[in-house]
A and B are shown apart, each in its own frame.
Chain A
Amino acid sequence: MERIPILKMGPVLLVSIQVDMHDQLALTLQDDLTDRIVTTRARGVLIDISSLEVVDSFIGRMLGNIAAMSRVLDAETVVVGMRPAVAITLVELGMSLSGVRTALNVERAMEMLKAATTDGHPPVDGHPSAGEDTDARRPD
């Protein structure tokens, strides 16, 4: 089944949505991301939507869900590169996505995530704080 690829860069997971997603693909992404946050102990999620020409209420809700779920898992999400026409449309739809942090570009987003992931708060099971690739040390 097709999936949106999720890349890992240190403590941050990167997703770049380049296709016009059908609902199932979006739901799969949601699931995949939450899984990966847990398995990689990610502290940040960056979702690049600069290629998306349309974000409807379903995708909008997906973004909101990802932000909320990752927060519960102690990770911060930033949505990057929303196009002006998309922002105007979302607002007209009534979706302000107030629980979702946004950035104009990837650099800004990484700055924001850096602040969130190096807040000195170590992951729950005592592994070294984010910044190091902890995958190498995981037992399984």
Chain B
Amino acid sequence: MSPDQPSRIAQFLEQHDKELLLAWVEHQRQSVASRRDLIDEGELREQSQQFLRLLREAAALGGNDVAGPRWEAVRELLRTLSESRARLGFSPSETALFVFSLKAPLFGLLRQYLGTDARVLAEETVNVTGLLDNLGLYTTEVYQKSREAIIASQSQEMLELSTPVVQLWDGILGLPLIGTLDSARTQVVMENLLQRIVDTGARIAVIDITGVPTVDTLVAQHLLKTVAAARLMGADCIISGIRPQIAQTVVHLGLDLTTVVTKATLADAFAVALQRVGLSVVRSAAPR
């Protein structure tokens, strides 16, 4: 690509800026994919105007390497736009069409003003097509990545919601684990538990694993890690909800749970916990 070609398109964009913006916004308005239900015309016009300006500035700097540093401002605009549209509920195509929809009005103007020189027209068309194709694809990529990030953060939220720490009594916390305990979950469990220990000054935590389907070597390690972490914060743990199958697995796999107190039921564990903190339950009067 020769050095004067990029600046030619930049010049063209400069000369026909207003006309192009008008044509482009009109073109987008008429397209169903512009999703006027999700975005209003004022905002669309503003985004389009900004894009044209940044496109012009980047093109003036030369080169058509849209991944390079000269095109960073354009990429940033497209990133912001793509992320906000992903959040608004645009599909990936609808988002990419923002860029692709510029082609028709731009080609129209190119034909109108450069139509007499076929060679130049052809070169500029190819040039512009390359630029806009790459930018449109970039928009799709960013969209994908931001969807993935949203899904990841929703997973994280679900993870946190599914590991609540409850206060069973003064100084006694309960941690009912439901579902599998993998290393990601263990991190969340540990953070929640330790924070609650600090907040409530708890001395005992009862970790109930009734809802944990299988306990293998890894799960046992995760449990022991959690117990060790709580202990470093001055709180002892009791593991409850040991089903007969789990007891069998523990023995068969040779898992060493001797460092921690284990009980079959949460009720038994709670009784032990009360004892440990020096409390007892007394019947006050005959039940009504």
Whether A and B touch directly in their complex, counting CB atoms under 8 A apart, is answered as yes
Binding site for B on A (CB under 8 A): 82, 84, 86-88, 90-92, 96-98, 102-105, 108
Q: How far is the CB of B266 from chain A (nearest CB, A)?
A: 24
- For window 197-239 of B, CB contacts with A under 8 Å fall at 197-198, 201, 225, 228-235
A88 touching B191 by the CB < 8 A rule?
yes
A108 touching B234 by the CB < 8 A rule?
yes
Binding site for A on B (CB under 8 A): 187, 190-191, 194-195, 197-198, 201, 225, 228-235, 259
> Can you list 20 A-B pairs with a CB-CB distance of less than 8 A?
A82-B233, A84-B194, A84-B195, A84-B197, A87-B230, A87-B233, A88-B187, A90-B229, A91-B190, A91-B225, A91-B228, A91-B229, A92-B225, A96-B232, A98-B228, A98-B259, A102-B231, A104-B233, A104-B234, A105-B201
Residues in B neighbouring A105, C-beta threshold 8 A: 201
What's the Cα separation between A92 and B221 when bound, in Å? Answer: 11
B197 touching A104 by the CB < 8 A rule?
yes
What's the Cα separation between A55 and B77 when bound, in Å? Answer: 43
What's the Cα separation between A120 and B229 when bound, in Å? Answer: 33
B197 nearest in chain A by CB position: A104
Q: How far is the CB of A112 from chain B (nearest CB, A)?
A: 9
Residues in A neighbouring B231, C-beta threshold 8 A: 96, 98, 102
What's the Cα separation between A98 and B231 when bound, in Å? Answer: 8
Q: How far is the CB of A46 from chain B (nearest CB, A)?
A: 13
A88 touching B194 by the CB < 8 A rule?
yes
Given A88-B191, A102-B231, 18 additional A-B pairs, CB 8 A: A82-B232, A84-B194, A84-B198, A86-B232, A87-B229, A87-B230, A87-B233, A90-B229, A91-B229, A92-B225, A98-B228, A98-B231, A102-B232, A102-B233, A103-B234, A104-B197, A104-B201, A104-B233
What's the Cα separation between A92 and B183 when bound, in Å? Answer: 11
Residues in A neighbouring B234, C-beta threshold 8 A: 102-104, 108
Given B195, B198, B232, B235, which contacts A91 in the complex, CB threshold below 8 Å?
B232
